[in-house]
Amino acid sequence: MSHLKERLEKNCLNCGVEVKGRYCQNCGQENVEVKESFWHLLMHFIEDLTHFDGKIWLTLKYLLTKPAFLTKEYMRGKRGTYIHPIRMYIFISAVFFLVIFSGEQESKIELTNSASQKQKGEMGDKNKDSLNLHFGNDTINYKTILAYDAAQQLLPEAKKDGWLTRNIERRFILVNQKYKGDNNALFSSVVEKFKHYFSRMLYVSLPLFAFFLWLLYCRNKKYYFVDHLIFSIHLYCAFFIYLFIFKLINEGVALLTTSNTDNLGFLLLVGLPFYLYKSMRNQFQQTRSITILKFFILVCLTLFLMLVLMTIFFLLSLFNI
């Protein structure tokens, strides 16, 4: 409760309902004077910050050390003690993508520029032509869309490229014209565009991952799709944090020593699947053998999903550079 003076008027300034006490029974806003001193504003900020920080550290503690614990707590209705899953996912994913891709653009540009300069000195017109992208059934690398369309018109109907192939081929021709056969510049542009789409790809994969869980556990009527979605959000958040920690440690080791960090990578490669297995075991309380079976099915489905999504978003990146 703040120390501001209570208003004499009993109408809530937020929703207009007549207030019967210090707080509005409809929206919860405190019925106090609008004007506040700098001290009151500062104290209010500190109270909110410490309260939020307390939730953050408690949430992170259980998220990283007790797989599926937060999901169980949410399902039991104990939600005020921890950060809401969606709010936490938005915050953690934003920080993750901001940090994970920071500093990579400049190094990528430097590598691309140096490689380009080297290739320009070594590459003649013949080699440049060999860099042209090609997607269609013909072995000809068309220089213009008009040339490609003219060639397609001469082919029998059965041998013409389909709608998807035709559009991708046209796009490749435009890209070749734009980058003049420079694969390094092309690759750099596609990667940069793909980075912007990567977070969207994970957003799309989240409900699909939850759908896979629903399929695997649909016989248990105790769990609804929303429960699997909350479970997936907590899982994604934990993975983001572990990857973030790995990146920090990896960069710290690289700065301090010249030691190889392959062991850290192996630990991460083993640790994330183990966290998934423990989460499934703790959440759904099935036997080890059944959980392991469903774990492998889920991993295979997820890998296939990621392959499909990466292909789709890679093509989107190519079509939007």
* Distance in angstroms (rounded) separating the CA atoms of residues 6 and 23: 10
- Whether this model's pTM surpasses 0.85: no
pLDDT category, 125, cuts 50, 70, 90?
A: very low
Greater model confidence, 121 or 68: 68
pLDDT-based confidence at 51, cuts 50/70/90?
Answer: low
Between CA 76 and CA 230 the distance in angstroms is 13
pLDDT tens-digit profile of 80-93? 888 899 989 988 98
More confident residue, 233 or 267: 233
Helix/strand/coil for 3: coil
- Cross-strand pairs, 6: 32
H-type alpha helices, the chain = 38-65, 69-76, 85-100, 104-122, 125-130, 145-154, 163-179, 183-216, 225-256, 262-284, 288-319
pLDDT exceeds cutoff 70 at 217: yes
Residue-wise burial string across 292-314, b where 16 or more C-beta atoms lie within 10 A, e elsewhere: eebbeebeebeeebeeebeeebb
57 against 36, higher pLDDT = 57
| Across 235-245, average pLDDT | 93
Which token pair is 145?
A: 């869309």
Arithmetic mean of pLDDT, 51-71: 86
Q: Who contacts 14 (Cβ-Cβ below 8 Å, separation ≥6)?
A: 24, 27, 29
pLDDT at position 130: 39
Q: Is residue 123 very low, low, confident or very high in pLDDT (cuts 50, 70, 90)?
A: very low
Q: What percent of the chain stands above pLDDT 70? A: 78
Q: Which amino acid is at 226?
A: V
